[in-house]
């Protein structure tokens, strides 16, 4: 099967599973893919196959609280010059998704990515401190390069945060993590 056929098959299974679960359980972050995005941007294609560094796109992750997600201009930095003769770029599925990106750029419109990880407002999380402490992205986010759609793989709830702080002699007073 092509990977697209696999995706369609998985999609069909997810729809059926979803119907069976209606009225029920919040399962999406535990199983299957993350949320559908406005453009089917794939970390498999960018981070893994094309070996683009995480920090190239998530620019503030080593210096700030937020990792940041690239603005359309940052996408176009590459997509303005990516040759249409690239066989993968002319693949109809890729072509259609890249056309969406080009439309956002032409209309000067930001892309409304669906957030995958969301902390409540009263919680303070700072990426930079964790990267400086030596943790890899994968410690908290898993192997994102292998995900067609990013999903959350670690609970990152209070118990999880505090347990890791204890193990690493990091502060555990309430005001470190709460505003
Ligand atoms: C070419 C740019 C690009 C590269 C390279 C890239 N990302 Fe992303 N990343 C994005 C975009 C765009 C999104 C938002 C859409 C989505 O969730 O797929 C995103 C989303 C994410 C999210 C989910 C954010 C949320 O909403 O919670 C995580 C986690 C993430 N990336 C980690 C990584 C890691 C780890 C790497 C390196 C292995 C990486 N990214 C490489 C562009 C990139
Ligand atoms: C550093 C260069 C680079 C950046 C930055 C980049 N791309 Fe790409 N992108 C590529 C390349 C190269 C391909 C072609 C894939 C191949 O040939 O394997 C591609 C393919 C794609 C595709 C088709 C495959 C897929 O993932 O669905 C989409 C859609 C896409 N890019 C969207 C984006 C978006 C949206 C951004 C910004 C968030 C972005 N790209 C940023 C290099 C880049
Ligand atoms: C110690 C755990 C941890 C590590 C290590 C970590 N993250 Fe995160 N990441 C989080 C948490 C928690 C959130 C949710 C933050 C929020 O909602 O305020 C998050 C959110 C994100 C987001 C969503 C958007 C944003 O701006 O915050 C992206 C993108 C992201 N991480 C990328 C990365 C990348 C790339 C790396 C590696 C360079 C990385 N993260 C390392 C825990 C981690
Ligand atoms: C994998 C282990 C690990 C996980 C998981 C983790 N932390 Fe941390 N965190 C650390 C370590 C180690 C430090 C201390 C870094 C240093 O010494 O500056 C730290 C530092 C911090 C700081 C201090 C930043 C500053 O101002 O210097 C905050 C805030 C924080 N973590 C919040 C969180 C929250 C919220 C979560 C859960 C969503 C979390 N952490 C999950 C290991 C972790
Ligand atoms: C290392 C980070 C960290 C520390 C230290 C921490 N918390 Fe939290 N706390 C979180 C995170 C992340 C959440 C949100 C996720 C969750 O509800 O588990 C949270 C959620 C909460 C909530 C909301 C629970 C709910 O059901 O909505 C309360 C109340 C709370 N914390 C109180 C405290 C108190 C009191 C302390 C000090 C004894 C403390 N926290 C220390 C990370 C932390």
pLDDT tens digits for 8-21? 333 343 333 333 33
How many angstroms separate the CA atoms of 165 and 129, rounded? Answer: 12
Query: Is 43 close to ligand 3, i.e. is its CB under 6 Å away?
Result: no
Residues 48 and 108 in one domain: yes
Give the pTM: 0.91
For the chain, the average pLDDT equals: 85
Residue with tokens 């990106």: 101
Please tell me the total count of domains within the chain.
Answer: 2
pLDDT of residue 106: 96
Residues 1 and 52 in one domain: no
Q: How many angstroms separate the Cα of 30 from the Cα of each of 19, 35, 145?
A: 17, 12, 18
Residues 135 and 88 in one domain: yes
Q: Whose CA is nearest to atom 32 of ligand 5?
A: 174
Q: What is the three-class DSSP state of 178?
A: strand
How many angstroms separate the CA atoms of 73 and 71, rounded? Answer: 5
pLDDT of residue 83: 67
Domain range enclosing 137: 35-177
Residues 23 and 41 in one domain: no
Q: Whose CA is nearest to atom 3 of ligand 3?
A: 140
Residues 27 and 74 in one domain: no
């Amino acid at each position: 099967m092509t990977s697209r056929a696999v995706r369609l098959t998985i999609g069909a299974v997810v729809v059926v599973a979803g119907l069976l679960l209606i009225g029920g359980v919040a399962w999406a972050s535990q199983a299957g893919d993350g949320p559908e995005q406005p453009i089917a941007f794939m970390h498999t294609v960018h981070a893994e196959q094309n070996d683009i560094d995480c920090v190239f796109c998530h620019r503030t992750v080593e210096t700030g609280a937020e990792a940041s997600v690239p603005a359309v201009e940052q996408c176009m930095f590459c997509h303005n010059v990516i040759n249409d003769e690239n066989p993968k770029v002319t693949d109809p599925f890729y072509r259609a998704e890249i056309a969406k990106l080009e439309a956002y750029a032409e209309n000067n419109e930001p892309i409304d990515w669906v957030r995958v990880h969301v902390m409540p407002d009263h919680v303070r999380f700072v990426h930079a401190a964790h990267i400086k402490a030596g943790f890899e992205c994968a410690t908290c986010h898993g192997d994102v390069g292998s995900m067609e759609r990013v999903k959350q793989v670690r609970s990152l709830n209070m118990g999880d945060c505090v347990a890791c702080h204890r193990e690493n002699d990091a502060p555990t007073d309430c005001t470190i993590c709460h505003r």
